[in-house]
Copies of this chain bind each other. A is one copy, B any other.
Amino acid sequence: MAAFGTKALHRLPLYLRVLREWEREGRGHASGAVLAAALGLDPILVRKDLARTGVRGTPRVGFPIAELVAELERLTGAASEQTAVLAGVGRLGSALLGYPGFRKQGLRIVAAFDAAPERCNLVLSGTPVFPAGAITEMVMRLGVPLGILTVPAERAQRVAEQMVAGGIRAIWNFTPARLEVPDEVLVQREDLAVSLAVLLHRLQERSV
């Protein structure tokens, strides 16, 4: 059950999605090859990933789906519910608040924040919006481990610091800003401009 590399980690949720579906259909076992085919991946690669989850398969039968689902849910954090706060209730922030996929991943956004007074005291998709000044105290009081950052880039560093002051442990950064935070705070970037650049590059490459 060694650590998963970045690449492997990205595949686990894909396995989970397909296996959950199969579980609902009542299938009991799945071979690495079948799962690989469903996802268009290399069978050997899938088998190795499954082996690394620690779940044991049986030759001629495959891996027990229920056990795989349980273990993958644990590994991807979907097994235990986590709370988060979201700062910046602009277009992207509002979209994320209403995204049903997060709930399935075990994530509950318990509070949102915004600098604009007219957006505060609203309730968006079931999440109450508070003034930006309340971030630190709220994060601290609720013991929220995850902060979602959807503020304008120029405000990102300041808001990140407010979260850190409240004891946040991870920040999901949707802004292009590079955040300076203590080492123990995990930062994950989600930069659409970067993704778009990669896509446009690949598109260009094909045209040649």
Binding site for B on A (CB under 8 A): 3-4, 6, 9-10, 12-14, 16-17, 39-40, 75-78, 82, 90-92, 94-96, 98-99, 101-102, 104-107, 145-146, 169-170, 172, 176, 178, 184, 186, 188, 190-207
By Cβ-Cβ distance, the 10 closest A-B pairs, closest first, are A77-B200, A76-B197, A91-B95, A13-B197, A95-B95, A101-B193, A92-B95, A13-B194, A188-B199, A170-B203
CA distance A82 to B184 in the complex (A): 41
Flag if A202 contacts B178 (CB, 8 Å): no
In the complex, the chain B residue whose C-beta lies closest to that of A187 is B199
B203–A10 touching, CB < 8 Å: no
B107 touches A98 (CB 8 A): no
Chain B residues with CB under 8 A of A199 = 77, 146, 170, 172, 186, 188
> When A178-B39, A197-B105 are in contact, do A203 and B91 touch as well, CB less than 8 Å?
no
Q: Are B106 and A200 in contact (CB under 8 A)?
A: yes
Chain B CB within 10 A, most for which of A40, A101, A105, A199: A199
Are B95 and A203 neighbours in the complex by a CB distance under 8 Å?
no
Please, which residues of chain B bring their CB within 8 A of the CB of A106?
A: 200
Report the Cα distance A62→B91, complex, angstroms. Answer: 41
Assembly CA distance A13 to B76 (angstroms):
29
- A94 contact set on B, CB distance < 8 A: 91, 95
A178–B11 Cα distance when bound, in Å, is 13
Q: Which of B78, B198, B206 contacts A197 (CB 8 A)?
A: B78
